[in-house]
């Protein structure tokens, strides 16, 4: 019932060595961090290969500390791999890349700028003319239900509204690849469902390629075309699950689909959730 497939697709390579058609690709990537005080190095991610096609949404799940954020940091060019290569749009990642946008659990809005000015931030940095960036920010704020809050400051908004503003800011720079690191994990369950809906519709409409980290199994299944499951550290990908429930653009529909249970059950098995219940590891 739950399908899996080979992790690395057999496709041609371009001149730089990237898989043709992949928007973002990790090829045999390992990342080590120096151990503290002479301790052995920490291997955060080990021999990870994954490839995401244009417009695909892929979720990454795995135990805490297995290297998920480290992988995203390498996708954005903040960290470089110890071994292996990362490609974005066919070019090897050697540093931060304007085609890649990052969204985190913390909204990181600047408290001294209004919501509109926060949404405009990336456009401002890129030198876009004031009128044009204002128009784009206002349109995005409408899309994310923030109309009327343009001149508010971050402290005047709820957590959900601040994450909406962070989504608008992330999309304002028109990235081709979105990297999202637990963007909704600090929100209450109902606000989260609403924001998932907004995000899914936007990703489908704008055909954004997305790598999404979450610990929420239902969130991974409802938002994604595929879910990649990582082992505990040193984290490596142990399974790829293709979500064959229709309606990726409408997570509410997927959430109500009876097939969800089989996917959740498979993910629980892979993550050994039952074993955790009887251990004191958490
Ligand atoms: N800059 C760093 N310096 C040293 N060690 C690091 C650094 N970044 C991450 N690590 C280590 O790498 C491992 C993986 O961390 P990472 O943040 O990628 O995990 P994660 O899968 O995102 O976990 P979580 O689900 O808790 O967010 C951890 O042991 C962490 O301590
Ligand atoms: Mg993390």
Give the residue, out of 33, 36, 39, 216, with the most ligand 1 atoms within 8 A of its beta carbon, to mutate for a pocket test: 33
Which residue owns the Cα nearest ligand 1 atom 12? Answer: 44
For residue 2, the cross-strand partners are none
Non-local (6+) Cβ contacts of 74 within 8 A are 26, 29, 31, 80, 81, 86, 93
Q: What is the mean pLDDT of the chain?
A: 92
pLDDT at 5 over 70: no
In the chain, % of residues over pLDDT 70: 93
pTM here is: 0.92
* Fold of domain 3-99+175-276: Rossmann fold (3.40.50)
d(CA 167, CA 180): 10
Extents of the domains making up the chain = 3-99+175-276, 109-174
pLDDT at 13 over 90: no
Instruction: State the distance from the centre of ligand 1 to the C-alpha of 68, rounded, in angstroms.
Output: 8
Average pLDDT over residues 49-65: 96
Is residue 133 within 8 A of residue 123, CB to CB? The reply is yes
Among the bound ligands, name the one nearest to the CA of residue 271: 1
Rg (CA), the chain: 19
Which residue owns the Cα nearest ligand 1 atom 2? Answer: 33
pLDDT at 169 over 80: yes
Confidence of residue 3 (pLDDT cuts 50, 70, 90): low
pLDDT at 269 over 90: yes
Non-local (6+) Cβ contacts of 112 within 8 A are 153
pLDDT at 76 over 60: yes
Name every protein residue with a CB atom under 6 angstroms from any ligand 1 atom: 33, 42, 44, 62, 64-70, 233
Non-local (6+) Cβ contacts of 185 within 8 A are 105, 214, 215, 216
Backbone angles phi, psi at 149, to 5 degrees: -115, 15
């Amino acid at each position: 019932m739950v399908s899996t497939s080979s992790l690395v697709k057999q496709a041609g390579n371009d001149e730089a060595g990237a898989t043709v058609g992949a928007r973002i690709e990790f090829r045999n990537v390992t990342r080590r961090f120096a151990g503290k005080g002479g301790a052995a190095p920490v291997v955060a991610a080990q021999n990870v290969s994954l490839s995401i096609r244009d417009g695909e949404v892929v979720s990454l799940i795995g135990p805490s500390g297995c290297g998920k954020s480290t992988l995203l940091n390498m996708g954005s060019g903040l960290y470089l791999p110890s071994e292996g290569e990362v490609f974005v749009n066919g070019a090897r990642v050697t540093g931060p890349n304007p085609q890649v946008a990052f969204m985190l659990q913390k909204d990181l809005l600047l408290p001294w700028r209004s919501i509109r000015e926060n949404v405009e931030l990336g456009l401002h940095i890129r030198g876009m003319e004031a009128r044009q960036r204002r128009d784009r920010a206002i349109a995005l704020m409408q899309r994310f239900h923030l109309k009327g809050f343009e001149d508010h400051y971050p402290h005047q908004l709820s957590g959900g509204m601040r994450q909406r503003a962070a989504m608008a800011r992330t999309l304002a720079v028109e990235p081709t690849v979105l990297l999202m690191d637990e963007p909704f994990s600090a929100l209450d369950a109902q606000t989260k469902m609403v924001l998932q809906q907004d995000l899914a519709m936007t990703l489908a409409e704008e055909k954004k390629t997305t790598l999404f980290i979450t610990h929420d199994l239902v969130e991974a299944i409802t938002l994604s075309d595929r879910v990649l499951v990582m082992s505990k550290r040193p984290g490596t990908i142990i399974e790829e699950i293709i979500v064959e429930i229709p309606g990726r653009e409408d997570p509410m529909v997927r959430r109500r689909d009876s097939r969800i249970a089989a996917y959740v059950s498979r993910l629980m098995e892979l993550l050994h959730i039952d074993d955790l219940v009887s251990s004191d590891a958490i």
